[in-house]
Structure 1
Amino acid sequence: MLTVDFDRLGLQPGERVLDMGCGAGRHAFEMYRRGADVIAFDQDADELSGVRELFVAMQEAGEVPDGAEADVKEGDALALPFADGEFDRVVAAEVLEHIPADLQAIDELVRVLRPGGTLAVTVPRWFPELVCWKLSDDYHNTPGGHIRIYSDKELIGKVTNAGLVFEGKDHAHGLHTPYWWLKCAVGVKNDDHPLVRAYHRLLVWDIMKRPRATRAAEAVLDPLVGKSMVLYFRKPDAG
């Protein structure tokens, strides 16, 4: 389930790309399939172990173009272990809302992006996220959980103040918003609730099959209640 549009990001085969806060690796895998030189970065060693294993499996299965490379790196988002301007493209998907020092993390994302390169940042969208917070304290009051709700104006301002140019905005996962509202209403850990189980089956079916009906539904729902906000930025050329 992808949140970032890599065509809009401008990703090309052979480019060096960073998936900062990669988690289970969903965006890193897609960039690898597209022939990029991928670094999947996270602070969770267990997650990175699984990502590395799947990178190897993808290569052995012939799912990636010749010459594409992928590796993992463990570390701190506030002190990325990479050189200035090292990456052509950077993705930070659903991570900034977890980081107390988000301005420092944004500065690091900007630092490692080359002049002319592009950045995609995704965070939970303000209204769907606000409803979740109102319905359930357990939704966000967990170790490592969400600590803030971004408006588009706030996050665009923070990134542009760090030196990037705003290129555009999108929303994604409109079908997922009612699911999370339902979970918050009945208890975020109550996965056995019949309505939660039924909706989860629908989402899994949609992810696996991508039927025309649900694609049409998301086209309507994404602009209205898309769970994620996706922002695209460009670093000005050195000249």
Structure 2
Amino acid sequence: MLTFDFDRLGVRPGMRAIDIGSGNGRHAYELLRRGADVVAFDQSADDMAEVETMFAALRSEGEVPEGAAARVEVGDALALPYPDDAFDIVVLSEILEHIPDDGKAIAEAVRILRPGGVAAVSVPRWLPEKLCWALSDEYHEVEGGHVRVYRADELAAKLTRAGLTVAHRDHAHALHAPYWWLKCAVGVDNADHPLVRGYHRLLVWDMMSAPPLTRLLDRALNPLIGKSVALYLTKDEVTVGAP
């Protein structure tokens, strides 16, 4: 389940890419499949161990182009262990809403992106997220949970101040918004509720089969209730002689 359009990102073999807050690695896998040299970066050692295993599986299944490379790194998004301008592509998917000092995380991500490089940033969209917060305190009042709800313009302004230019804005995962509203309404830990269980089966079927009807429905509903807002940005070129 990808949040970003990787054709829009312009991923090419040999590009240096990092997925910050990689989690289960879904975007890192797609970067690798497209031939990039990928770092999956996350604070969870357990998650990164699983991602490393999946990288090996992709290689054994012949899904990795010749010359592409991938590795995992465990660390802190507020202190990335890379030099300035180290990557051509930086991905930050559904991570900034978890970080109290989001400005520092953004600054670090921009620092390691080369001038002219591409960033892809997504967070939960304001309206679907506000409904989740209204329906359930459990949804966000957990350790490591969401600490803020973004408006898209607010996020874009923070990224612009950090030295990025917004090239495109999109929405994704409309079919997932009702699932989270259901979970919040019946209890986020109540996975056995028949409505939640039934809707989850629908989502799994949709992800595995990608039937035309649900894909069309998802695209049609994304402008209205897309669960995530996705921003595509470029890092401003540094003018020679500028301070």
TM-score range, shorter chain: over 0.9
The one-letter code of the counterpart of 1:3 is T
AA of the residue aligned to 1:222: N
Matched, 1:172 2:169: no
- Structure 1, unaligned stretches of length 5 or more? none
Question: What does residue range 72-221 of structure 1 map to in structure 2 within 5 Å?
Answer: 72-221=72-221
Q: Percent identity?
A: 60
Q: Distance in 2 between matches of 1:57 and 1:197?
A: 29
Matched pairs, number: 239
What is the deviation of 1:61? 1.6
Equivalent residue for 1:224? Answer: 224
Q: 1: distance between equivalents of 2:236 and 2:194?
A: 51
One-letter amino acid of the counterpart of residue 107, structure 2: D
Task: Identify unmatched segments of 5+ residues in structure 2.
Answer: none
Q: CA deviation at 1:168?
A: 1.2
Cα deviation 1:169-214 (Å, max 9, x = unaligned) = 0000000000100110011110000011100000000000000110
Deviations 1:53-106 (A, max 9, x none): 110111122111000000001110000001100000000000000000000000
Pairwise CA distance, 1:36: 0.5
Question: What's the CA shift for 1:6?
Answer: 1.1
TM-score (norm 1): 0.99
Question: How far does residue 237 in structure 1 lie from its aligned partner after superposition?
Answer: 2.2
Cα RMSD of the aligned pairs, angstroms, is 0.6
Shift of 1:221: 0.8
Q: Secondary structure at the match of 1:134?
A: helix
Indicate yes or no: 2:242 matched with 1:238.
no
Provide TM-score, normalisation by structure 2.
0.97
**For 2:78 and 2:204, how far apart are their aligned partners in 1?**
34
1:13 Cα deviation from its structure 2 partner: 1.3
Bigger shift: residues 132-141 or 214-223:
214-223
